[in-house]
Amino acid sequence: MINKKFLAAIEKQHAAYERAYRKLVEDANRSLHLAKRAIFAFHRGDRNVGESLLGEAEKLLGAVGNQFKQEPALEFEGAYRAALEEFVEARLFGQFLSKKSLGAVPSFQAIDPEVYLGGLADLTGELVRYGVGRATVYDIKEVHRAKETLDQVMTFLVGLDLTGYLRTKYDQAKNSARRMEEIVYQMSVSACLNRDYDPFD
């Protein structure tokens, strides 16, 4: 004999979770895409466009967060955490471009540390891309500012003794740090070869 009433309740709960899960994945994927577009806009110098895209992403993430009251387990779904991590990365890059100190992400004060650290580690890749862009126009001051910020991030991360997923992120960040050092070195060599160019002028 089976308890049909109990199993019917389980079926109902499962169906509700599946509906919420599909909605979460849809909104999270849209948010992740918007955050990526925001980063690209920032690199193009379209700050207003980037901020607008992040505003849309933030609304979607907020809507996803509202589902956690009914389905708490959704907070730990990979799609949501990936989208939130991308959002953190984009917000931190925006803070860097605004010459603000890297810190809290507005509207997400109680963000999961692993998600925040993942976004912070990924930021190093955007700092390298930014450094490359500024190096092409010999903007040595901005290249050095990007390198200084990247170095500060690495100093922070190395003190955490990261493992698992975050260790992989840290190793990727180390590669970004090496690439940034190469950029600065190549600019120095270029300056020496072109004596008419003063990189500190």
**pTM score, whole prediction:** 0.88
Lowest mean pLDDT among 21-30, 103-112, 114-123, 182-191: 103-112
Going by the DSSP 8-state scheme, the letter that residue 67 receives in this structure is G
d(CA 142, CA 138): 9
Which CATH number applies to 112-201? 1.20.58.200
d(CA 169, CA 120): 9
- Per-residue pLDDT tens over the stretch 115-137: 999 999 999 999 999 999 999 99
Cβ burial, residue 6 (10 Å; 0-12/13-18/19+): exposed
d(CA 151, CA 161): 17
d(CA 144, CA 149): 9
Cβ burial, residue 34 (10 Å; 0-12/13-18/19+): buried
Largest CA distance in the chain: 91
- Per-residue pLDDT tens over the stretch 37-69: 999 999 999 999 999 999 999 999 988 888 887
